[in-house]
Amino acid sequence: MTEHEPPIDHPPVHAVDVSAGYRGRVVSQGLSLSFEQGSRTALVGPNGSGKSTILKTLARLITPLSGSVCLDGQDIASLPSREVARRMAVLPQLHEVPPDLTVHELVSQGRFPHVGPLKMLRLRDDEAVQWAIRLTRLEHLADRSVDTLSGGECQRAWIALALAQQTGLLLLDEPTTFLDVRHQLDLLELITLLNREHGVTVVMVLHDLNHASRYADRLIAIADGTVIADGPPVEVVTPELLRECFGVEASVMQDPRTGAPMCIPHATIDAASHESEWVTDAVET
């Protein structure tokens, strides 16, 4: 049997005049964003800037207070939720794993939006699950219980679940949190592979600006729920932006290997005048 790549749709997503937030608390207002097919975008910004809220609104995990999010030009709110799940996969920041659930069982849940009325898994569902497991290099762990995996393996298993959905659009909320340096790179390389080789449109929230510059083609910097910069990394990552958006003094230089901008924050704005050692320590993190 030939191993064929399962087909993938390419739905561009855009938000039209969206106000995002929770009941009684508007986080972001009048937001209009469009994400091109096959693009790789990182939302960056300080804690509490609203970047996760915006991502969740795009992912229809939160209903917009006003405005609309469109998939392929169709309002997400008017589409059946399963239909959305066949076109867009979301990796939430928090998830739960019941005890003794194997990687294979977890990943096969990604087929939920695809199964027929009789809820049976078909051959192509099995193929999609195998494909996702292979791509995330989890073959040897397929039969292991998810709660026994390391942080990096666990995150790969969750990505595999999203891959098994076989969507053209992947949204990730801080996928590298709690991972060590090696596993952060590993994960970002995997996302890049999906984007480059399989044409998956990626929108992700990232904390690390240097990772964002290197692994995204477009950065959207958000502060207080407003987009304050939007463009390729070289245009967005500047000392001015770091001051305005993150409130840090930083030097920005070019990564000699990739050409991506790299920043080294050295002081917070408030403390920049009086140089104390603990501040320098604190901004290292």
Partner 1 sequence: MTAVRVRLALSDDSAAAPSATRHRRTVAVLALLLAVLMLLYLMLGPASMSPRLVVKALIGQPEETLHRIAVWEVRLPRALMAALSGAMLSSSGAFMQSVLRNPLAAPATVGVTPGAVLGAVGILMLASGSEGTLNQLNFLVPMGAIAGGLFAGGLVYVLSYRRAGADPLRLILTGVIVAAFLSAITSLLVLISGSHTDAIIRWLVGSLSTRTWEHLLYQLPVAAVAVPLAAAVIPAGNALQLGDATAANLGLRPELARAAVLAAAVVLASGAVSVVGGIAFLGMMGPHLARTLVGSDLRRLVPAAALIGAIVLVAADLLARTFSLDWLPLLEVATASGSRVPVGAFTALVGAPFFIYLMRARV
Which residues are at the interface with partner 1 (CB under 8 A)? Answer: 23, 59-61, 80-86, 89-92, 94-102, 104-106, 109-110, 112-113, 115, 119-124, 126, 129-130, 133, 139, 142-143, 145, 161-162, 165
The 3 state secondary structure assigned to 139-199 is HHHCCCEHHHCCHHHHHHHHHHHHHHCCCCEEEEECCCCCCCHHHHHHHHHHHHHHHHHHC
Which residues have C-beta within 8 Å of that of residue 53, sequence separation ≥ 6?
20, 21, 22, 27, 28, 62, 225
Residue 113 or 233: the one with the smaller Cβ distance to partner 1 is 113
Q: How far apart are alpha carbons 127 and 47 in whole angstroms?
A: 40
Residue 172 or 229: the one with the smaller Cβ distance to partner 1 is 172
Residue 109 or 276: the one with the smaller Cβ distance to partner 1 is 109
Q: How far is the CB of 99 from partner 1 (least distance, A)?
A: 6
Tokens of 237: 């990552």
Q: How far apart are alpha carbons 81 and 85 in whole angstroms?
A: 6
Q: How far is the CB of 7 from partner 1 (least distance, A)?
A: 15
Q: How far is the CB of 40 from partner 1 (least distance, A)?
A: 20
Question: Going by DSSP bridges, is the β-strand pair 261-268/88-91 parallel, antiparallel, or unpaired?
Answer: unpaired
Closest CA to 220 of 230, 212, 210: 230
Q: How far apart are alpha carbons 268 and 282 in whole angstroms?
A: 9
Which residues have C-beta within 8 Å of that of residue 179, sequence separation ≥ 6?
151, 152, 155, 187
Residue 86 or 183: the one with the smaller Cβ distance to partner 1 is 86
Cα 45 off chain centre by:
14
Residue 100 or 224: the one with the smaller Cβ distance to partner 1 is 100
Q: How far is the CB of 108 from partner 1 (least distance, A)?
A: 8
Residue 109 or 150: the one with the smaller Cβ distance to partner 1 is 109
Q: How far is the CB of 4 from partner 1 (least distance, A)?
A: 15
Q: How far is the CB of 172 from partner 1 (least distance, A)?
A: 11
